Structure 1
Amino acid sequence: MKLNGIERAAMNNPLRAAHQHHREAAWFRRLAGDSLAGQHVLEVGCGRGVGSEVLLKRLGAARVTAFDIDESMVELARRRLHRHPVELSVGDACAIEQPTGSVDAVMDFGIIHHVPDWQQAVSEIARVLRPGGLVLFEELPRWVLDTWAFRTLTVHPRENRFEAGEFAAELARHGLHGVGRIEQHFGGMLFVGAARKT
């Protein structure tokens, strides 16, 4: 689902960008070490391109393929990343336009909870990852989406959402097994983790 105006403002501002570049990058370095160094990384839901910047500048990816369902966000990302080794397109997490086993890693900066059929998105992530490939994720649990603020101010899907354990179980169902434990941040309002394709 595309973001509404409130969500766009919350996700597309200098504070959010600084948070991704510093705090979130540190979380993923702790989870993945230098696993992304020199790798081809797919970013699911690139927004205006800050996540792709983080993958290249902070986590050492050699190149990034990224897509978003929102054409206007892809255009902003193109402007931001025109001098970087990034391939951008409009796309759908439930039908990823990449060959099977073609990427070294997949990054989900809080996108899967926006997808109505999130299990299909997980299936697609597993499909495009090479054996031994890594998926890194940052997600919001069901209970956060059920709060008054999220129900009133956002357009997230309401049915078929997940808690951290349910998300990990779905990853495992597709051969993506946890690397370490899932971390909770901001009082459990956000969870982050890593899983490797067996």
Structure 2
Amino acid sequence: MSSLYQRPWWVQANKGRTTLRVHSGHRYGPCTEAHMTHPAPSRIQWAIDGLSLAHGHRVLEIGCGSGVSGALICERLITGHYHAIDRSEKMIAAARARNDASIRKGLATFDVADAASAQYPDVHFDRILAINVNLFWRQADGALEHLRRRLAPEGQLHLVFEPPHAAQLAGIADACAQRLSRHGFRNLVPERKGGCWRVQAFPG
């Protein structure tokens, strides 16, 4: 995996096939109606609630996976727009299938790209979200600089993590805080809920 963000812990290879495992016990494989009806994992619900979305917000998600969070975000937008990227062509295909209605309404777009080199729409985002994207606590320097320039003056970056073991959270939080501060993000607002941690950051 040569791109900036690596295969995260919840994606596992299984006899040549990639399946997505989440802590709620659901397994997301090919995007079918049965998979679409599963409730979103609690970490995703918590992440979306923390965005405090307004109807006209422009939202960017890094590492959107199969589009579960995108579906929840689009439910809260009326005149805004949701733009999502992921390195995986399979995940983007699944996300497009899951969010087909929002795409046809012009509320959502999905692109295969990585955070540092993506060609984003010519707008400034009100919210940028990443859930369980290892990039932001391992080697996010280029991506953070790129994303900070894409935030609106009052925009917010939200990073959310739920590692396999809660003991990992302290190290993740420290690494994220150092990188965010180094790249011009200020007024970091961290919060923890059970085995999840998130931080809300503002451009300096």
TM-score by length of structure 1 reads: 0.72
1:1-198 paired onto structure 2 within 5 Å: 1-2=6-7, 3-5=11-13, 8-10=20-22, 12=28, 17-20=40-43, 22-26=45-49, 28=50, 32-34=51-53, 36-58=54-76, 62-84=80-102, 85-98=107-120, 102-113=124-135, 117-140=139-162, 162-179=171-188, 181-186=189-194, 189-198=195-204
The answer to whether the 8 A contact 1:99-1:128 is kept is no
Distance 2:118 2:182 in 1: 19
Q: Shift of residue 194 of structure 1?
A: 0.8
**Residues 145, 61 of structure 1: CA spacing in aligned structure 2 closer, same or farther, 3 A cutoff?**
farther
Is contact 2:48–2:69 with CA below 8 Å preserved after alignment? no
Where do 4+ consecutive residues of structure 1 move more than 4 Å? Answer: 13-16, 58-61, 113-116, 140-146
Aligned-residue Cα RMSD (Å) equals 3.3
How many angstroms does 1:116 deviate by? 5.5
Ranges in structure 1 where 5+ consecutive residues have no aligned partner: 147-161
Higher strand share: 2
Aligned residues: 177
Identity of aligned residues (%): 22
- Alpha-carbon distance between aligned partners in 2 of 1:145 and 1:61, rounded to the nearest angstrom: 41
Residue 138 of structure 2 contacts residue 175 of structure 2 at CA under 8 Å; is this kept in 1? no
Structure 2 unaligned blocks of 5 or more? 1-5, 29-34
